[in-house]
Amino acid sequence: MKFLFPAFLIASLAIAIPIIIHLFNFRRYKKVHFTNVAFLKAIQQSSNSRKKINKWLVLLLRCLAVLALVFAFAQPYFETKGKITQGVNYNILYLDNSFSMGSISTDHNLLEEGKDIALQIINGYGADDKFMILTNDNQGIGNSWLNKEEVVFSLKEKITSPQVKTFGSIFHSMQQSFKLAGQGKHNAFFISDFQENTADLNSLKDTSIQVNLVPIQTTTMSNAYIDTAYFKDLVSLPGVANKLVYKVVNDGSKSSTIKPILKFNGSNKPLPIIQLGAGKSIIDTVPILSTGSDYQSAELVINDNPINFDDNYFIAWKDVKKANVLIINENNVNRYLTTALESSRLFNVANEEISRVNFSRFSSFPLIVLNELKSVSTGLISELKKAIDNGTNIVIFPNAASPGAINQLSQAFGMGTDGQMVTIESKVQSINKDDVIFQNVFEGKTIGLKLPVTQRNLKINAKMSSGAISLLTYRDGYPFLVKYGRGIGKVYLCAAPIDPLYSDLVKNGEVLVPFLFKAGFSSLRPQVAFTIGKNESFEINQVKDGQDGILKFNGPQTFIPEQLQRNGRTIIQLGNESILPGVYSLENFGLYAFNYDRKESRMRFLSLDNVKSIENDHIKVWDKSTQQNLASIIHETDLGLVLWKYLLVAALLFLLAETYFIRKKG
């Protein structure tokens, strides 16, 4: 047995008061004279032993009553498990309100069951304890602590949300909130169906926090859904069919017949019926012929009940016209480079000599190529920097005979080379297919792909340059083609001249053409859809001031995104909105598609055994049997087996017994 307030035990010395009263009887007796004392002597002899017993019983009862009161104030308890901590309990309850929690299991809604469990947890704590409710919409950072009445009111307002958060991100928010809390016990509760995609239990490691896992058991549900959709080609051209790639998944335990439909340009086009086995997925394509309007949108639809939040996938894109490309030459035009750009029919190519170039036109070119320049002026470098800050991409090919220009450009843009060339035959060995430049360019393996061979090349130390990414790499590990993030635009440096005397890159269309294509159009909006709740951003080339500068999305509903103005551009930050899926217009800045997160689509849940496998002194799992009496169990777990109530009852009984014996004596 231990005491929550052991200092009160010093008050047990108060038992000396009834002892003194009984040992020194201060009661004054009055003498009464009788004519015959024989009768009194008889009474005294017959009751002397009884009086003595009553006297000591009264003394004992008074002492016990005093001790019971003292012990009650000291609050004794028997520890059930863990250490009892004085002070306020700070409790953060995470209530999973994702779509899977809104489903019906047997005869009840899982979210409502979660609310009932949360209410039991709240009732298990005292009036002075503090609470915070977290959901997928609200991770709690900056929230204030609530009392019991306030947190119950907040709990009733919670509804399902399209937002999806992992346990790890929620737990990180809890840790930040607990750091701002006062002294006391820190308790974290996770009330969820413990979906496999989000319940990363290994992230719940903090011995300063008592973690409580409350799984709401449900059955695995079958679900077929559209996982993703994207265009095979980076850009969509008016009047040119572009293949829309889409992926359908059957996450059920039985085969399913799926009938996809494409909604585009006011018509519903049935797509080939899919027979999909259990746990299987399929990737298919459908051509879309753009109508010529700048902004287009479409919707893919399947019909799968009862889970249908992921049966629609919206996309939006912009048709592009030809992009303007400026090639700045030292003297002669490189016909191979010009042909490579013009052959795609996507570029309007302008060739200008370095001595006659018009700097004021730079902002109108999404791509500028510096072709084997011998030297560059400070004015040219300054204008190139301005163009990069406005989104222009720069491609640089060195001059084989003169390192001056590369040395100047390297110093200006931090490219990690002095411009000196070495004469040695080098072969490119690898391609960085993870970068957007060569992503989705080469289907299948690239083992048989012919890669460039060079006779002279720069030594580029990309590792010493911030923001440098090697796109093509030689066998010796040095890069052949490097991308540098500088401002809004990008700088691309090739280690070898493009002249066929020193490199066969111009004869290698499989590499050169997609590189120039991606470099020319990478500043355009490639994304056809955004995920609701996922932190993503994009930029628009305009800044508005004042109240009129606040941009709004209009569609299935209206919302105002987070906006940041920088360098003459507006950055739209997404991720915190709980909105309906669909196609939205951003005033005069085009159409944007939003879809629900597919993390919730895979209806697989951790078993109770999986959850219990991480149970330890700092992580407790509440199964179905213990969830029935959560309030009383939590109260006992928090304070141990408390005895003060029993001691108060005992003190009252001792006083009643004392009164009885005194009256009996009288």
Per-residue pLDDT tens for 554-570? 999 999 998 888 766 78
* Residue 93 CA to its chain's centroid (Å): 17
Whether residues 149 and 293 fall in one domain: no
Domain boundary among 264, 293, 320: 320
* pLDDT of amino acid 140: 58
Whether residues 388 and 480 fall in one domain: yes
* pLDDT of amino acid 73: 77
Q: Is residue 179 part of a domain?
A: yes
Within 129-288, residue ranges assigned H as helices are: 148-156, 167-179
* pLDDT of amino acid 328: 95
Whether residues 286 and 423 fall in one domain: no
* pLDDT of amino acid 213: 95
Whole domain around residue 268: which residue ranges?
224-234+255-320
Ranges of the chain whose pLDDT falls below 50? 26
Paired residues of 94 in beta bridges: 134, 190
The CATH number of the domain where 554 resides is what?
2.60.40
Whether residues 259 and 391 fall in one domain: no
Whether residues 206 and 102 fall in one domain: yes
Q: Is residue 652 part of a domain?
A: no
* pLDDT of amino acid 229: 94
Domain boundary among 320, 346, 372: 320
Whether residues 400 and 489 fall in one domain: yes
Q: Is residue 662 part of a domain?
A: no
* pLDDT of amino acid 43: 55
Whether residues 192 and 100 fall in one domain: yes
**46-81 pLDDT, tens per residue?**
566 666 777 777 778 778 888 878 877 776 766 655
The 3-state secondary structure of 167-200, one letter per residue: HHHHHHHHHHHHHCCCCEEEEEEEEECCECCCCC
Whether residues 316 and 329 fall in one domain: no
Residues 378, 381: Cα–Cα separation, whole Å: 5
The CATH number of the domain where 183 resides is what?
3.40.50.410
* pLDDT of amino acid 495: 93
* Residue recorded with tokens 């700088």: 491
The number of residues in the chain equals 666
Domain boundary among 489, 521, 553: 521
Q: Is residue 589 part of a domain?
A: yes
* pLDDT of amino acid 209: 93
Query: Using an 8 Å Cβ cutoff, are 603 and 279 in contact?
Result: no
Rg (CA), the chain: 40
Whether residues 32 and 145 fall in one domain: no
Q: Is residue 570 part of a domain?
A: yes
Residues 552, 563: Cα–Cα separation, whole Å: 10
Number of domains in the chain: 5
Whether residues 453 and 482 fall in one domain: yes
Q: Is residue 475 part of a domain?
A: yes
* pLDDT of amino acid 117: 92
* pLDDT of amino acid 537: 84
Q: Is residue 176 part of a domain?
A: yes
Residues 572, 292: Cα–Cα separation, whole Å: 27
* pLDDT of amino acid 530: 93
**Is the full-model pTM beyond 0.75?**
no
The answer for 519, left when phi > 0, alpha when psi is -120 to 50, beta otherwise, is alpha
Structure tokens at 178: 């607990």
Whether residues 92 and 131 fall in one domain: yes
Q: Is residue 337 part of a domain?
A: yes
* pLDDT of amino acid 589: 85
Whether residues 449 and 545 fall in one domain: no
* pLDDT of amino acid 389: 84
**DSSP count for the chain of H helices, then E strands:** 13, 36
